[in-house]
Structure 1
């Protein structure tokens, strides 16, 4: 038996999608962290791995949102798509940043998560988002995995600009900027108004960032 859910995509199109009752039961097992039921359902029908809820979350994305590493491991072992995104184009790496759990990012990257994906409605990347949140350990993992250092999102911001514009100038954001610079990020890329990360740091009086970004400041 099938039931119908209204699924709306980011491009503004809404479609009635058939969702099996087995999918509903599977989602419930994920939400309740019921490994035994989830595994039993998977043994009967592996297609439920890529079912979607009304927000476009797959079971794996829900497990990540809940910080449920054992469930994530089960789903990945059974072949869940580690690069799936929800309707807001958030992937599992973005979710790891949202819930501030480096272990999720580590497990996802080991399973083949792609740090080069264009993610979020801002058309950015997991690295840009991790920099915004000053999630240093996840930043290190993403950089080591080959995340693009100089991607520009649709706001006109790189990861360095994100740190300078949205960061509070604290030690954490200074460390985020240092990680990016040491990895080779270009500090001279300006935003849509022609302002560089240094310009933003100067405007805000964020001295720690100024010292890292200004070539004229002696180290």
Structure 2
């Protein structure tokens, strides 16, 4: 093909497209034409992208585009031709047919002509504007699909990047809360796999997905959320309800039992003044239907209380630690007691603690030494503050305990607590225990870590002791050295 012949074919082709004469335009294509619109993971939401071979496939691509895009303006901006190859710049202004969001594209086309027909056509363009138009209602469609239990559409939308935690505009619920409330276990699994947040609360009552699951009544959903790390004792800020309270309220004894077995607290109160026990007694009094399920739940509650009482009585090591009974602890360890046995969750000061955590908190240095020598976990964490034994020791200013634990092989000097992100060094400085802080510095505690308030150890030392204090000067000099 000569340059002039190629130009004539290509100019007529784009003129036909501009005039909306698709049939005439398609007649310019070779039967085995190859039409490529580059497709990747970032633009796959646009359905007509990809490689299309033959006139039939190209025709179908145009049909799909016509179904999804209304062309508002279209025209050639530039054309360069050399032999059988043409390079065209095309401007398109369109609007997505569903979202009505408009976009503009200026793309480059490379076309090869042979025997008067276009045999190859490749388009180079920035699809971001068009992708945005397709995705303008993506999150709202996700929410609607979850309400409709449309697992296939949810999978598709998540695959194209839909934000899994987008809230329903009317209810304030996230997709995970919706699926949990509807007892849709497969949908919950799908959303969790996509990274749905099990901790966030709804914007109306402050309830979590686990609260919704206890309303929905699916034990499988509750199991999935608990396994995903949902807070069992999350408290709704409006009612004060925990998930267990909701499980009892909605008469799902099997769910109540699962939460009880997982350690749900029994000594919490609603924000309207009822303890859990009073809340449950009220339910027993006002319900005439489904009372058999409430009575079954009552059996599970009583069994849990009895079990807690038995565990407390049987936790002889904790009793000895509480009493400061060194010889008692020594004897129990010699008898093979479980050195890391956890105290039951009874909404008390020792909940979920090991004996070492309590000994470190309460200043029992010799007992802590015995426990460590018996293999106690030096980095055990408790569930209330997410603290380790070293936090407990420095927080309470126990110098000898701090020295003992900080020098222990395997100790994590820089463990950051869950509630405030403070390391043991942060805690020692925060509470003004300079001797404990000095021990941690001697052991090599890090100086660059920040708490959730953004403060470094130097910030706290300056705030508590002043910039001219010897300890503050030491930390400042060490921090400066670390930066080098």
TM-score by length of 2: 0.32
Q: Which residue is 2:251 aligned to?
A: 134
1:30-58 deviation line (CA, Å, top 9, x unaligned): 22222222222212225x11111122100
Confirm or deny that 1:178 pairs with 2:299.
Answer: yes
Structure 2 spans left out of the alignment, 5+ residues = 1-98, 102-135, 309-484
Q: Which residue is 1:78 aligned to?
A: 194
Report if the CA contact (8 A) 1:132-1:167 is conserved: no
Structure with the bigger RCO (C-alpha within 8 Å, sep 6+) is 1
Confirm or deny that 1:28 pairs with 2:144.
Answer: yes
Confirm or deny that 1:155 pairs with 2:276.
Answer: no
Q: Which protein has the larger Cα radius of gyration, Structure 1 or Structure 2?
A: 2
- The correspondence of residues 1-219 of structure 1 with structure 2, limited to 5 A, is 21-46=137-162, 48-53=163-168, 54-86=170-202, 87-119=204-236, 121-168=238-285, 170-184=291-305
**1:171 deviation in Å?**
4.2
Report if the CA contact (8 A) 1:131-1:159 is conserved: no
For the residues of structure 2 that align with 1:73 and 1:67, how far apart are their CA atoms?
11
Report if the CA contact (8 A) 1:85-1:92 is conserved: yes
Q: For structure 1, which segment, 77-86 or 129-138, has the greater mean C-alpha deviation from structure 2 after superposition?
A: 129-138
**1:149 deviation in Å?**
0.8
For the residues of structure 1 that align with 2:270 and 2:188, how far apart are their CA atoms?
29
Number of residue pairs the alignment of both structures matches:
170
**1:151 deviation in Å?**
0.3
1:81-103 deviation line (CA, Å, top 9, x unaligned): 12232121222222222222222
Judging by fraction of residues, say which structure has more strand: 2
Change (3 A) 1:33 1:172: closer
Report if the CA contact (8 A) 1:163-1:176 is conserved: no
Report if the CA contact (8 A) 1:116-1:148 is conserved: yes
Report if the CA contact (8 A) 1:134-1:172 is conserved: yes
Structure 1 spans left out of the alignment, 5+ residues = 4-19, 187-219
**1:120 deviation in Å?**
5.8
For the residues of structure 1 that align with 2:181 and 2:297, how far apart are their CA atoms?
24
